[in-house]
Structure formats: C-alpha cells, structure tokens
Structure 1
Amino acid sequence: MATRARILDSAAHTFRTKGYAGTRLSDVAAAADTQAGSLYYHFPSREELVEEVLRVGQERTSGYVRRRVAALSDDASCLDRLREAIDAHLDSTLESGDYTAATIRIIGQVPEEIRKRRLHEQREYGLFWRGLVNDAHESGEIRTDLDSSVLRMLLLGAMNSVPDWFRPRRDGLSAAAFKQQFESLFLEGLAITKSSGLRPLDGELEAVKSAESTVLLSAERQDDMADGAKRILDGAAKVFRQNGYAGTRLADVAAAAGIQTGSMYYYFDSREHLVRELLLAAWKRTDDLARTSVNALPATASALERFSTVLTAHLLSVLRSSMYTSALVRILGQISDVVREQTVANQRAYLDYWRGLLNEAITAGEVRDDLDPMVVTMLMTGALNWTVEWYSADGDLNPEQLAIQFSTLVFDGIAGELTSAKISAATA
C-alpha cells in the first residue's frame, strides 16, 4: 500500500508537469524511486494509472469536503456550511496540489471513456456546491443578486488556482492566514463603501470598449507578424490546450493551421520558439487591453474605478481570447525553465501593474488595507482565468454582465451587509 501510494503521488506530479501524452510509466517509476516491475504490478497500463490519479484526487477533495461539512452541528447556519466547505476545499487543495493541478491540466487529454467517468464525479461535486450556495441564498444569509452558478464557479476557480502559485513559508503567509484572507476577500469584499446592489460598471465598460478599438487599430498598424504566423499561433493554442506541451508535435500544429509542416520553420525555429511566442501573445493581448482601458478613463476616475477597470478588461480579454488563455493555463507548468524565464518577465510586469492599482486604491482609502495585495491579485486573476473552462456564451449572462457579477463579488462580498458585519466582528 505504501508503494502504491508513492506511485500515485509521483504520477500526479509527473502528469501535472508533463501532461498525459508526455508521461511515460518509466518516468513515474523513476520519480517514485521504484522498479518498473513494481509499478506494472499495481498499474499495468498508463490508462489505469491516470484514471486512478484522477479518481484519488477527486475523492481526496470531494470526500474530505463532504465529511467536514457533514460533521458540523445540526444548528450550523447555511453560511457556516459554505464557509466550512471553502476551508476544507482549500485544505485539500493545499495538501494535494499535484492532484488538483494534474486534473485541471489533463482531464481534456485522457481517453474519452476515462474523461466521461471522471467528469461524472466532477458534476456530482459541483451539485454538492450548488446545494450549499442555493441553501445560503434561500436562507437570506448571502446576497441574492449574485447568480448562484457564477458565484460557485468563481469560488472554485479561485481555489483551484492556488496550487500554481501559493507556497506557505515560515517567513511568509501561513496556510491558516491565507485561508482567512481568502474567506475575508470573498465573504466581506474589498471596498470600504459597499454598493447597495449589483455594482454598476458603466464607466469601466465604456473605457474597455474604447480601448478595444484602439488596441485593434494599433495592432493592425504596428504588428508586422505575417498572417501565416498568426494562423499558426491560433492552431497552436488549440492543440496545446488539447494535448499539453509534451504531447504536441509541430506536425499537429501545422495540420490545425492548414499548412505543411515544413512551412512551420519559416516562422518558428522550434517548438520552444513557438510556445514562447504563444505565451507572449497571450500575455500581450490582455496586458495591452488592461492598460489602454485604464488610460481611457476620465482624469476624474477614482482609484477604485481604475482598479475595477483592470478587472473588467482582464475578464473580457480572457473570454475573447479564450483558446490562448486556456492554453496558457494548461501548459504554463509544463514548459521548460528556459522558455518560462523568457516569458515570466511579462507576467510579473502585468501583475505588478495590478498591484500598483490596488495599492493606489488602498492609499486613497477606497479599499481595505488588511489583505495582502499579492494574495488578492493572484486570487482574482486565478478566478478570472478559470472562467474559460466553464463560461458559455449560450448561458444566461453575457461577458459584460459576468464582469458586473465579478466586481460585485470581490468589492462587496458574498455576505449581505449585516452578515458581513457579523463576520468581521467574529474574525476580530
């Protein structure tokens, strides 16, 4: 049993970093420090191994959260149950980060029959969360103007992004302090002055609309990238999203782009060159729109409006370039250190821009000063990037309405004003 557990832990880490197609059983055996024969004794095939990794990961989180919520006393409120589920999900995610990240990155790459079985379990867990949110809605313990499905998916997106960036350290934020910040952000909200209803974004949306025209015109004038290269990048985003980094060949990208494989080398020297340009394009699209949108605001715009605008621009950019964003999220942890170092400066500059706007709002007294700006920034971008995995244009909300929901959630919190005050008092 100890050997089996070690193999599964090593497999989760290997699938997370190499993807499904890029993982060999010999890689897992080496990572588990065991003989290949021992691995085959427990898992005769890669298919059986990956399904067990997905199953164990889902059970660790789903089962643990359900048991924690079920253990609450009968007089626990609906909001208490929701808070306990958040706390338990974060505990499981922090403890089993490799399983969480592996599931996110490879669920679309595994054989169809495995994917269908595991998606069924995901839906069951989603229904459990839907029940928690709906119960809190009906009891009046959380605000009813937030769409329950959107609220649930944004929370799960923020939580599931945590393994990619949060590392508890003695000299930094502890896991307990981090969980407290997470709950405080989403339950109470950031804004000092709360909105009485859904937070209006008229000025922010107008600025983003103006910026989209400016960015598009600028790209047409200045972008010297050939149409062939753009077509290749579009195809690459789709293939990398489906197959992962290690499982993608240049021939696959060429087929998706509708060109001969040899023609690829006219634009890109190697797969590493291609993925570097893909990641840079993904960051640049969002970065350009965010900065241009903020600059399009009137000079009288408040610090809070400026920060709200960058959130809105990021979400709309993500949804309009969903394939690029989804590819970035799924392969960022699988690329080589060399390629990552060539793109990480862009990521840091963009996140620094976010933190700068957030700090301006804190200094202006418009946003709370008791939450870590880095944590707030990473949770928000994680939740927004996750939307590409669940948002549907055929749903009840268009992207602009979703932006209003998100802004209301993060600035005013899930809880109503009275409940929020009680939470603050209890925390103090």
Structure 2
Amino acid sequence: MANGRPRPGKKGVATRARILDSAALIFRNKGYAGTRLSDVAAAANTQAGSLYYHFPSREELVEEVLRVGQERTSGFVRRRVAALPGDASDLDRLREAISAHLDCVLEIGDYTAATIRIIGQVPEEIRRRRLHEQREYGEFWRSLVNRAHASGDFRTDLNSSALRMLLLGAINSVPDWFRPRRDGMSTAELKAQVDSLFLDGLAVHRQENRSIDKNLAAIAVAEEKVLRRSREDDTKAEGAQRILDAAAKVFRDKGYAGTRLADVAAASGIQTGSMYYYFRSREHLVVEMVLVAWKRTDDLARLSVDALPADATALDRFSTALTAHLLSVLRNTMYTSALVRILGQIPDKVRDQTVKYQRAYLEYWRGLLEDAMASGEIRTNIDPSVTTMLLTGALNWAVEWYRPDGALSPEDLAGQVATVVFDGVTKIPADRSQSSSPTPV
C-alpha cells in the first residue's frame, strides 16, 4: 500500500499480516479441520472481532494463507531470476531459481508446510483455485528446465515434470528438519548441497545410462518375503488392519486435530465402541498407523538390500534402498500421504513413541550412504545427513503428485530418480563418459 495512508490503515495492514502469519502456523500444526478461528486470534494476539473484520470465515482465511504463500514464493523467485544479467546461461537461471525458492521456503516455512499439509483438506472450490496458481508456478519451472534442455546444458533423457517435482519436493521438505544454527550448517552451505546433489549427482563416475535392473530384481525377492511374512503373522487382527487402513485415509483428509475416532469408525464400517477393542485412544491409533507406514518402507528397503548378490557394491546397496523406498511410497500411498501431512501435527508425547523408528531408518540410510562414500563410489564432499533428508523428502512427496495413469510407471520413475541422484541432471562432458554406453541421450 502507499506510504501516505493514514496510520489506522497501516495498523490494519500490520494486524492482517500478523493474523495470516499466525494462521499459517496454526494450519501447519493442526490441519484445516482442526483449526478454529479463536486459535488463530489467540496466536495473533488480537481480538476475535478484529480477526472477523479481516476474515469473516475460516474458508476465506485459509484461502488467503494459501494465496499469500504461493504469491510470495512465485513472485520472489521470478524476480530473482529476472534480475540476472542478460547473458546469464539457462543453467545459471535454474540454479538461481533453486537458490531463491530455498530462501523463500526458509523465510516463510509455515506457509510452505501449511500448504503441503492442508491443500488436500480444504474445500474443493478453494483447492481448484489454488491449484491453478500452483500450476502457473510449475510452468515457470518447466520453462527453466526446457530451456536448459534446449541449450544443451541438461541431459535429454529425463522427464522434466518428474525432475521439477522431485527438486521442489526436496526443497519444500527443508523447513521440517533444517535449523541453521542448531544443525551447524549455514543456508549457503545447504544451497550448495542441494545444487550439487541435483545438478551434478552423487556418483564419482557419472554415467549416461544407469540401469536399476539389479535393484528391481532384489526388490522382487524382498516383496515375496514381505508377503509371506504378512501371511504367517497373525498378530494383527483383520479388524484392526481395516481400522488402520481407514484411519490412514481419514487422517490424510482431515489432519490429526480434525480426526475423531467416530470418523474412523464410520470409514471402517464399525461402531465407535468397537474401536476400543483394538485401540485404546486416538493417540494409540495414530501411533500404530505411523508405525505401519514406517515399517512397510523400512522392511522393504532392508530386505531388498539383503537380497542383493554377495558381490554387490556399496553403491548397489544404497541405490537399491533408494528404489525400494520410492516403490514402497507409491504402493502404500494412503499411509505415506497421511504420514507426510500429520507427522508434524501430532503431540510430542505421541510422536516420541514413533521417532526412534524413524531415526533408526534414517540412520540405516545414512550408513549405506557413508559406505558408498568410503568405497569411493560417491563423492565425499556431501553431508550424509542432509543428503538423506533431502532424498527422503523428495521421495515421500512423490505420493502427492505421481499419477499411475501418467507417462511413467513406478519403475520408470525409479529409474529417473536413480539417474538424477547419482548422475545429476547436467549433461556429462564427453571426456567424463568414456566408460558409459555410446548410445546418445
């Protein structure tokens, strides 16, 4: 607004901004159904009447949170890219977009996390309007990638849509785990890690053609073992499994605070009282659901790695875990989506019952990565913990955008992921690809 506006107007603008910032935090932590306007007013340190003056309903408030978050990100990134010199390369423009998007996500992390967690929970009319704006921003990124392709800076065998969503998924996950001061890594250092991971890849010896056939063969063996175990394990009653499956969908759609046991019972087709035969409380139910989500992916990754031949390299092992994780995510979409949306919303005392399993799995990943670094197959100038978080963030986010009826099968997407992660998206110089297939990309 113009600087000459009367002071009451400026105060109103400040109040509105404070309400939006507080609303982003509350929506992030409680989901759409679990957020009350009184919660937002308390967080914004304003009277309920003032909040209703600016936003008469929760629907208007949530749409403005989504709009402002998207507008700030899109406008900021576009301006940063536009400010580059006219002779900047297309690769430089993409690199600047990555840097700017990461800066913006860290600055308005509540807006980003709120959007990820509630976009599937808001009324359909609001979602349609906001998805339209997201697609416009996506087209901006698509144009950056396509121009880099056309200029010869990028590989030509990568699906630009998948590449864009993997990259944004990794960056958008950052506010959930990155704390510059606590983690001992600056934002500039994090940017360098993101840039290096996606543009150059992790492998010491980059390849023009990377096969995941060995990974898929091991995963097929592991899946048979997982199926056999599930048939032999009768510890979880059929009724409990039906409730857990229904709970995953309800928690995904309504968030943690917005989900009642009655909602889950209705979705399960049972009486609410019958729920207590299997689960003591909502907290007990969500703990079991989160553990199922982690265990399915953890089991498949570990068993797949164990199924590799004895002469498998450290890189084979890490690549197999990477592929198994993605395929598990895509085959257990409801659980993974629920996990992505509510893990940051459940109370600490509940999350504490699951966090050790999450940490054990991430430690397993980091160990595989460090083994590949020690063997000389993966570059040593990466941070294993940060790389693990970026990759799992990118893979978990795939559940929100991947479509089985699209151009890529799950296995095709897994191949794309392996190429991006290990060989990067930039074109391999001729003098660095002597050991790869001569088939042009």
Give the structure-1-normalised TM-score.
0.96
Question: How far is the alpha carbon of 1:222 from its aligned partner?
Answer: 2.2
The 2-side partners of 1:151 and 1:386 are apart by 12
Match of residue 367 from structure 1: 378
The 2-side partners of 1:326 and 1:41 are apart by 35
Match of residue 152 from structure 2: 140
Q: Which amino acid is the alignment partner of residue 337 of structure 2? A: S
- Summarize deviations over 1:260-293 as a string: whole Å, max 9, x none: 2221111111111110000000000000000000
Does residue 256 (structure 1) correspond to residue 261 (structure 2)? The answer is no
Equivalent residue in structure 2 for 1:345, among 336, 356, 376: 356
SS of 1:417 mapped into structure 2: coil
- Summarize deviations over 1:217-257 as a string: whole Å, max 9, x none: 01221241001111111111111111111111111111211
Does residue 178 (structure 1) correspond to residue 180 (structure 2)? The answer is no
The 2-side partners of 1:19 and 1:44 are apart by 19
Q: Which amino acid is the alignment partner of residue 301 of structure 2? A: A
- Summarize deviations over 1:2-41 as a string: whole Å, max 9, x none: 1111111111000000011111111111111122222222
The 2-side partners of 1:291 and 1:219 are apart by 16
Aligned 8 A contact 1:55 1:118 in 2: yes
Match of residue 167 from structure 1: 179
SS of 2:34 mapped into structure 1: coil
In structure 2, do the counterparts of structure 1 residues 350 and 420 end up closer, same or farther at CA, with 3 Å as the change threshold? farther
Does residue 216 (structure 1) correspond to residue 218 (structure 2)? The answer is no
Match of residue 73 from structure 2: 61
Does residue 313 (structure 1) correspond to residue 324 (structure 2)? The answer is yes
Match of residue 100 from structure 2: 88
Residues 32-51 of structure 1 mapped to structure 2, 5 A cutoff: 32-51=44-63
SS of 1:236 mapped into structure 2: helix
Aligned 8 A contact 1:187 1:420 in 2: no
- Summarize deviations over 1:137-188 as a string: whole Å, max 9, x none: 1111111111111111111111111111111117700111101110011101
- Summarize deviations over 1:186-237 as a string: whole Å, max 9, x none: 101100011122x101111100010000011012212410011111111111
Aligned 8 A contact 1:141 1:419 in 2: no
SS of 2:335 mapped into structure 1: helix
- Summarize deviations over 1:372-428 as a string: whole Å, max 9, x none: 00000000000000000011111111111111100110100111123999xxxxxxx
SS of 2:154 mapped into structure 1: coil
Residues 257-296 of structure 1 mapped to structure 2, 5 A cutoff: 257-296=268-307
SS of 1:40 mapped into structure 2: helix
**RMSD in angstroms over aligned alpha carbons?**
1.3
Does residue 192 (structure 1) correspond to residue 204 (structure 2)? The answer is yes
Match of residue 202 from structure 1: 213
Q: Which amino acid is the alignment partner of residue 157 of structure 1? A: G
- Summarize deviations over 1:309-362 as a string: whole Å, max 9, x none: 000110010001011000000000110111100000000000000000101011
The 2-side partners of 1:194 and 1:115 are apart by 41
Does residue 31 (structure 1) correspond to residue 43 (structure 2)? The answer is yes
Aligned residues: 420
Match of residue 154 from structure 1: 166
In structure 2, do the counterparts of structure 1 residues 406 and 420 end up closer, same or farther at CA, with 3 Å as the change threshold? farther
Match of residue 407 from structure 1: 418
The 1-side partners of 2:314 and 2:234 are apart by 32
Per mean C-alpha deviation after superposition, the further-off stretch among 344-353 and 164-173 is 164-173
Aligned 8 A contact 1:94 1:163 in 2: yes
The 2-side partners of 1:73 and 1:256 are apart by 56
Q: Which amino acid is the alignment partner of residue 62 of structure 2? A: V
In structure 2, do the counterparts of structure 1 residues 58 and 207 end up closer, same or farther at CA, with 3 Å as the change threshold? same
In structure 2, do the counterparts of structure 1 residues 419 and 243 end up closer, same or farther at CA, with 3 Å as the change threshold? farther
SS of 1:342 mapped into structure 2: coil
Identity %: 74
The 2-side partners of 1:88 and 1:360 are apart by 33
SS of 1:209 mapped into structure 2: helix
- Summarize deviations over 1:110-163 as a string: whole Å, max 9, x none: 122211111111111111111111111111111111111111111111111111
Which portions of structure 1, spanning 4 or more consecutive aligned residues, are displaced by more than 4 angstroms? none
Aligned 8 A contact 1:158 1:383 in 2: yes
Equivalent residue in structure 2 for 1:110, among 92, 111, 122: 122
SS of 1:355 mapped into structure 2: helix
Q: Which amino acid is the alignment partner of residue 340 of structure 1? A: R
The 1-side partners of 2:176 and 2:258 are apart by 21
Q: Which amino acid is the alignment partner of residue 63 of structure 1? A: G
Match of residue 426 from structure 1: none
Per mean C-alpha deviation after superposition, the further-off stretch among 381-390 and 3-12 is 3-12
Equivalent residue in structure 1 for 2:134, among 90, 113, 122: 122
Match of residue 394 from structure 1: 405
- Summarize deviations over 1:74-121 as a string: whole Å, max 9, x none: 211111111111111101001000000001111111122211111111
The 2-side partners of 1:353 and 1:362 are apart by 14
Aligned 8 A contact 1:329 1:385 in 2: yes
In structure 2, do the counterparts of structure 1 residues 342 and 420 end up closer, same or farther at CA, with 3 Å as the change threshold? farther
Aligned 8 A contact 1:192 1:367 in 2: yes
SS of 1:155 mapped into structure 2: helix
Per mean C-alpha deviation after superposition, the further-off stretch among 100-109 and 33-42 is 33-42
Does residue 235 (structure 1) correspond to residue 246 (structure 2)? The answer is yes
Q: Which ranges in structure 2 are unaligned for 5 or more consecutive residues? A: 1-12, 433-441
The 1-side partners of 2:167 and 2:206 are apart by 20
The 2-side partners of 1:420 and 1:16 are apart by 48
Aligned 8 A contact 1:13 1:102 in 2: yes
The 2-side partners of 1:171 and 1:384 are apart by 22
The 1-side partners of 2:431 and 2:100 are apart by 21
In structure 2, do the counterparts of structure 1 residues 171 and 48 end up closer, same or farther at CA, with 3 Å as the change threshold? closer
Q: Which amino acid is the alignment partner of residue 267 of structure 1? A: Y
Does residue 298 (structure 1) correspond to residue 309 (structure 2)? The answer is yes
Match of residue 131 from structure 1: 143
In structure 2, do the counterparts of structure 1 residues 33 and 419 end up closer, same or farther at CA, with 3 Å as the change threshold? farther
Match of residue 381 from structure 1: 392
